[in-house]
Amino acid sequence: MSAGTTALRQPVWATHRRRVPGAPADLTLHVLPVAEIAPWAFTALGCLGEEETARADTVQAERARELFLVSHVVLRHVLAHRLGCRPHEVPVHHDPVTGAPRAVHGRAGTVDDAARQGAPGTPPGPAPLQPVRFSLSRTAGFVAVATAQRRVGVDVERVQSDVETDVLLDVLHPEDRTRLSRLRGRRRAVAVTRAWVRVEALVKAWETGLARDPSGIHVGPRTRAEYGRDWVVTDARTTARENTRLAVAWQADSDSPR
C-alpha cells in the first residue's frame, strides 16, 4: 500500500477546516498545528513530487525543511480530496517567473460535490472539470492552505519581534504606517503583523508576489475589506490563544477570470 493511499484513509487534516466569514462557497481554509500533524505527515512523504523534494533539499535549516515537507504533504491531501484523486496525482507546479502556484484540474465541482464524492455509501457522480486554485502559507507552528475556484491567497505569520515590526512598518502603505506608528509594544507588533499578512494574502491572490510594491497597498483597520471592485481580504483565526495572525484574500467575482 502506498503512502498516498494510507494517508487518504487517515484524513488528519480534515478536522482543521476553518470558517471564513463572508467567503464564497467554493473557498476552503485549513489551518493546521504543525506539532499535531507532523507525525502523520512524515509517514506520507511518498506523495511528494520531484519538484517539491528538490526544493526541500535546498532548505538548509532542518526545522524549516521539515516545515516545508509537512506543508506540502498537507497541501496535496487537501487538493486530492477536492479533486477526487490521490495525493501523489495532484499536479503541483509554480510559474517559473512569478512563483505563483498554477491552477490544478480534477473532477470536483464545488466543495459540496467534493464532500459527496467522499461520503460513505455515495456513488461517485460526474462533476465538471473545474480549475482549482490554491495558496499555501507556513510559519513556525502552523500551516495554512486555502483553495477556491477563483484566485485566492492566504498568509499566516507569527507575531513579529520589535525589530521585525519596524522593518515591516517601513514598507507598508503610508496611511497604514501613520495609523500603526501610534501604537506601542505588543499592540504595535500584533497590528503590524496583521497588516502585513493582509498585504501578503492580496499579492498571493493577485499572483504577483512582492514584485508589487507593498507600500502601494492600503489594507486599513477593518476586519473585512474590499480592495477595489474585485477583491476581498479578511482576517481569520488560527487558535483561541494565538501568537500568529492570518488573512485570506480572494477574487470577488469568479465569473470574471483575470
Structural domains in the chain?
Answer: 14-251 (3.90.470.20)
String of DSSP letters for 8-66: HT--GGGGGEE--TT--TT-EEEEEEHHHHHHHHHT-GGG--HHHHHHHHT--SHHHHH
Per residue in 81-97, pLDDT (tens digit) is 999 999 999 998 888 88
Which residues lie below 8 Å from residue 126, measured CB to CB, with a gap of 6+?
Answer: 107
Question: If you search the block for the grid coordinates 455515495, which residue do you land on?
Answer: 122
Q: How high is the pLDDT of residue 14?
A: 87
Q: How high is the pLDDT of residue 255?
A: 52
Q: Answer with the residue of higher pLDDT: 51 or 200.
A: 200
User: Burial letters for 53-90: b for 16+ Cβ neighbours within 10 Å, e otherwise?
Assistant: eebbeeeeeeeeebbbbbbbbbbbbbbbbbbbbbbbeb
Per residue in 182-224, pLDDT (tens digit) is 999 999 999 999 999 999 999 999 999 888 999 999 999 999 9
CA distances from 85 to 80, 104, 205, 254 (A): 5, 12, 25, 24
Q: How high is the pLDDT of residue 98?
A: 82
User: Burial letters for 212-228: b for 16+ Cβ neighbours within 10 Å, e otherwise?
Assistant: eebeebebeeeeebebe
